[in-house]
Homo-oligomer: A and B are copies of this chain.
Amino acid sequence: MIPRYSRPAMTAIWTPEARFRIWFEIEAHATDALAELGVVPKDAAAAIWERGAFEVDRIDAIERETKHDVIAFLTNVAEHVGPEARFMHQGMTSSDVLDTCLSVQLARASDILLADLDALLAVLERRAREHKLTPTIGRSHGIHAEPVTFGLKLAQAHAEFARNRARLVAARTDIATCAISGAVGTFANIDPFVEQYVADKLGLAVEPVSTQVIPRDRHALYFATLGVIASSVERLATEIRHLQRTEVLEAEEYFAPGQKGSSAMPHKRNPVLTENLTGLARMVRGYVTPALENVALWHERDISHSSVERYIGPDATITLDFALARLTGVIDKLLVYPERMAKNLNKMGGLVHSQRVLLALTQAGVSREDAYRLVQRNAMKVWDSDGALSLMELLKADPDVTAALSLEEIEDKFDLGYHLKHVDTIFARVFGAA
């Protein structure tokens, strides 16, 4: 956990206080269920809720001696509850507490991440609508292709993050299970009713078959999903970084007054937020493989997954939360330069319209191969002139072209509106009917 890449709400989930509080609730709910079954006295269950308390420092001190965290916790709680504490944890095993707690933490983390995604989606939609018809050049391979709009770029990102939201909802469901099944998952010493009771109280599903532990394929899918979301963050961040290049400069991260871009070059405005997001994405992705390696525990369980989860539980969720919020801020305040987009769009002397001409030629009866050659020989002249020559003018001066197309037909192929006629269709797919 790196403080500068952390936000308080997500960080709070992973504090010792929060963890022990969840432990306490699991134990107290479980004791309630045992009381309902008549296994323990109802008074004892009540006493736990009434007098139950813990201190992180005290637990740490006990753990240093016993080298067992759950025993340390129970010992500390017992110091507050008194004799009735012996009815806690009856028939349970440590993993019942630890794994169910992790489920609660990951579910809560998911809720924050879902809210993050909602905020990002809202900003993407607002800015997409704002620039729905702002023309800009589409680029494949970094090379000018044909016109799109800046709104379409953001609509694409919206659709991608909407998918990610749905994936996270599924991953949250996958991870939100409760296991209270005892030492090897057989309920030998505890009735399955307790598991169902606690699950209901905590908003979890019961784990169909646990083996002391909740199976780690659930967590693997969860962290893999975060890795996919992080990769989408990188995609959009990379787009901004490209747009902010000196030679492109179609958009810029907001530049706060007083911010210094470089200790040496005061004119510089660097896309440092999106570069940072690129790095953060690498980290969240890096946590996927350890999560996958955690699946193959030995027999009913070993504890190799535990240390991994101490790192990646907080690190992956905190980092992704920060990254999503940062990305939302970047998009929210992104400086967009439509004039520069227009300037770049036109700089290639109309080359971006070459395909339309190609199509018109074939529709006028020229073979595809001949049409390709006709367009390419003129396009190459424009390309070699660095945009100084105009493709339209060259075509109008090429007798093989004008043999097939009239001057008006040629001019018509250079109409920008032609490319934008289906923007509404795409927007309706992404944002629903206007």
Residue of B nearest to A187 (CB): B422
Contacts A224-B228, A266-B354, A305-B279 given; does A258 touch B139 at CB 8 Å: no
12 interchain pairs (CB within 8 A)? A65-B258, A137-B246, A139-B246, A141-B303, A142-B241, A208-B426, A209-B426, A224-B224, A278-B304, A279-B307, A285-B289, A285-B292
Neighbouring B residues of A211 by C-beta, 8 Å: 138, 148, 152-153, 156
* Measured CA separation A139–B211 after assembly (Å): 9
Neighbouring B residues of A305 by C-beta, 8 Å: 279
Within 8 A of B (CB), among A370-394: 372, 375-376, 379-380, 382-383, 386, 391
Whether B300 contacts A267 by the Cβ 8 Å rule is no
Partner of A145, one of B155, B184, B306, B352: B184
Mark A205-222 against chain B: 1 for CB-CB distance below 8 A, else 0: 010110110010110110
Neighbouring B residues of A246 by C-beta, 8 Å: 137, 139, 142-144, 347-348
A57 contacts the other chain (Cβ, under 8 Å)?
no
Residue of B nearest to A382 (CB): B267
Residue of B nearest to A73 (CB): B263
Looking at A42-50, A115-123, A159-167, A398-406, the stretch in contact with chain B turns out to be A159-167
Residue of B nearest to A362 (CB): B86
A186 contacts the other chain (Cβ, under 8 Å)?
yes
Whether B141 contacts A268 by the Cβ 8 Å rule is yes
Whether A231 contacts B265 by the Cβ 8 Å rule is no
Whether A148 contacts B296 by the Cβ 8 Å rule is no
Whether A311 contacts B2 by the Cβ 8 Å rule is yes
A59 contacts the other chain (Cβ, under 8 Å)?
no
Residue of B nearest to A65 (CB): B258
* Measured CA separation A215–B182 after assembly (Å): 40
Whether B156 contacts A215 by the Cβ 8 Å rule is yes
Whether A146 contacts B186 by the Cβ 8 Å rule is yes
Residue of B nearest to A270 (CB): B141
Residue of B nearest to A349 (CB): B267
Tell me the number of copies of this protein.
Answer: 4
| Shortest Cβ distance from residue A256 to the other chain B in the assembled complex, whole angstroms | 7
| Shortest Cβ distance from residue A139 to the other chain B in the assembled complex, whole angstroms | 4
Partner of A275, one of B147, B242, B245, B303: B303
Contacts A242-B299, A266-B379, A300-B139 given; does A308 touch B279 at CB 8 Å: yes
A407 contacts the other chain (Cβ, under 8 Å)?
no
* Measured CA separation A247–B340 after assembly (Å): 12
Whether A295 contacts B228 by the Cβ 8 Å rule is yes
Looking at A17-25, A89-97, A102-110, the stretch in contact with chain B turns out to be A89-97
Residue of B nearest to A425 (CB): B192
Sample of 9 more A-B contacts, CB < 8 Å, known A142-B302, A183-B265, A282-B290:
A74-B263, A94-B264, A141-B275, A159-B215, A183-B264, A224-B225, A235-B295, A264-B358, A285-B289
